[in-house]
Amino acid sequence: MASGSERVVVVGVDDSSHSYHALESALDLFFTPFKSNPQFKLVVVHARLTATSVLGFAGPGTVDIIPLVEQDLDKTAELVKKKCTEVCSGKSVEITSLEVIEGDPRNIMLEAAERHHASVLVLGSHGYGAVKRVFLGSVSDYLAHHAHCSVMIVKKPKTKHASHDKH
């Protein structure tokens, strides 16, 4: 828990609609109602994967591909930062810290929550089923069990099919 009255919300983002929805939900819950008297500081963290973790293999020709993958990951990180800044600006919320840290998202988010003495850690849920979670791992599940603060996992509402929409 944050010392004194300084409470911190750490939001983990990737380049998915799920994480942007989680960011917006965090803003709506923790910041928008208190615009004139903010109750929390906002820290947004993007865990940038490493090129080798994206490629998932090392073999002949990998060395030639790594710089291209690194460029793509850097470009994605810049887009994530820009989108987060836009979302927060749109709701008149100031970001205390916007970080891009390279590594495994589970470790990055756990360390960020501890480093910033988070009161709450907010993450989006990709909604993977049990089998997919086993193979891909669930960052939110890991953090729910290992973080030393409250963890809010935000599910994006399922969109209705066009045939169910009434215009």
DSSP state letter for 21: H
Amino acid (1-letter code) at residue 150: S
Nearest of 113, 114, 104, 106 to residue 48 by alpha carbon: 104
Q: What is the pLDDT of residues 19-59, one digit of tens each?
A: 999 999 999 999 988 888 889 999 999 999 888 887 776 66
CA 116 to chain centre: 15
2 versus 33: the higher-pLDDT residue is 33
Average confidence (pLDDT) over 11-15: 95
- pLDDT at residue 3 above 80? no
Sheet hosting strand 40-48, strand order edge to edge: 97-102, 40-48, 7-13, 120-125, 150-155
Query: What are the structure tokens assigned to 18, written together?
Result: 């799920």
Average confidence (pLDDT) over 125-139: 62
Q: How far apart are CA 55 and CA 59, in angstroms?
A: 10
